[in-house]
Amino acid sequence: MENEIPKHLLVIRLSAMGDVAICVPVIATLKRDNPTLKITVLTRDFFRPFFREIEGIEFVSPDLKGRHRGLSGMFRLWKELRKKEFTHVADLHDVLRTKFLRRLLSLSGCRVEVIDKGRSEKRMLTRKFRKIMEQLPTSMQRYGETIARLGFSFSEPVPAVRKPLPVPSSIGRRSGTKQGKWIGVAPFAQHKGKIYPTLLTDELIGLLVSRFERVFLFGGGPYERDFAECMEVRHGERVISVIGRVSLSEEMDIMSNLDAIVTMDSASMHIASLMGVPVVSVWGATHPYAGFYGFGQDPRNAVQLDLPCRPCSVYGNRRCLFKDYRCLQGIAPQTIFDRVCSVTDTPTPSDRNS
């Protein structure tokens, strides 16, 4: 119809890194199946590389620590957004600032839908007693359902296929041309309940170095960088830290060359999933049932202990009931190593002996 108003969808997901990465396959599929639909993503500028394979989408990057800080900042942001004439809004975040923002956008005439985070279901999964241990809808499914309620139809997202990309020169000078198998390790996360203990990580890296050509360490922040650089010294030239040495886009390029990566329940798991890299994920206080498992990843590659206290948290931010984080301390590096060998079809010493 000639007089039909062109549809312009605003997708809101400001953080966190892993959650933003999870929404990428949904938006990619939506754009592929609806090529005339105009899509703008409201997120931090730092996360733009996640969307680099999607053509024809726009971005708005708010200054949440400056001019868009607080409710007054959200009001200022709304005045800027309404000039873009959005027709539909999908709030995939649902926090205080986005509640306020979507209310203003609704008053401006936009059709608005907000994600159902399933908070009550997650409380029953993580409560101390009488846990209901059932698989909950994934975050990706919740994102898709939110957008579908706006009237947009699109097919199921398809897991990525690994396509090795050029390694940045800053890392390539040390790694050299790929020979043998490359493994990644990302043992860190935002909260302690999801971080593999450093002594066990040290042992795991030693096992990986004994069997694989290169071991790349991923993470962020000063402590993680210092730890990774210590691992370089301790385990030799086969260990290469990328922390603080490359951009996010370059980090994704490096990941694309990995044969597998060991991660926690963290952003690295979802970034690797975007690149089609097999992930061996280690789970402590959290659980895949909460819906944050890597898209397209084999459930058999989730390494976890069956403890009555697990899961105790959705995000890993609760203090351990026993104060010893036994859910992580009890996972042997050998168990993770064996799973990596299985994923990469690499014989272990016991296989060769038998």
Using one digit for the tens of pLDDT, what is the confidence trace for 32-89?
Answer: 999 999 999 999 999 999 999 999 999 999 999 999 999 999 999 999 999 999 999 9
Using one digit for the tens of pLDDT, what is the confidence trace for 246-304?
Answer: 999 999 999 999 999 999 999 999 999 999 999 999 999 999 999 999 999 999 999 99
Would the CA dihedral through 200, 325, 189, 161 be positive or negative? positive
- Grouping H, G, I as helix, E, B as strand and the rest as coil, residue 195 is coil
Same domain for 219 and 315: yes
Token digits of residue 175 = 């790694």
Same domain for 72 and 123: yes
Same domain for 118 and 244: no
* 160 is a domain residue: no
Instruction: Give CA–CA dist 287/302, Å, rounded.
Output: 9
Model pLDDT, residue 263: 98
HEC states along 40-84? EEECCHHHHHHHCCCCCEEEECCCCCCCCCHHHHHHHHHHHHHHH
Same domain for 130 and 173: no
Same domain for 89 and 221: no
The domain tally of the chain equals: 2
Model pLDDT, residue 120: 98
Residue bearing tokens 């990644």: 184
Local confidence band at 5 (pLDDT 50, 70, 90 cut-offs): confident
Same domain for 85 and 230: no
Instruction: Give CA–CA dist 139/204, Å, rounded.
Output: 30
Instruction: Give CA–CA dist 333/328, Å, rounded.
Output: 10
Local confidence band at 124 (pLDDT 50, 70, 90 cut-offs): very high
Helical (H) or strand (E) element with 303: strand 302-303
| Paired strand residues for 111 | 88
Mean pLDDT of 227-233: 98
Mean pLDDT of 126-154: 98
Using one digit for the tens of pLDDT, what is the confidence trace for 298-339?
Answer: 999 999 999 999 999 999 999 999 999 999 999 999 999 999
CATH number of the CATH domain containing 28: 3.40.50.2000
Using one digit for the tens of pLDDT, what is the confidence trace for 156-195?
Answer: 999 999 999 999 999 999 999 999 999 999 999 999 999 9
Predicted TM-score (pTM) of this structure: 0.96
Give the residue numbers spanning the domain of 278.
169-353
In sequence order, which ranges of the chain are alpha helices (DSSP H)? 17-33, 70-81, 96-107, 119-126, 139-148, 169-175, 198-209, 222-235, 248-255, 267-274, 326-329, 333-343, 349-353
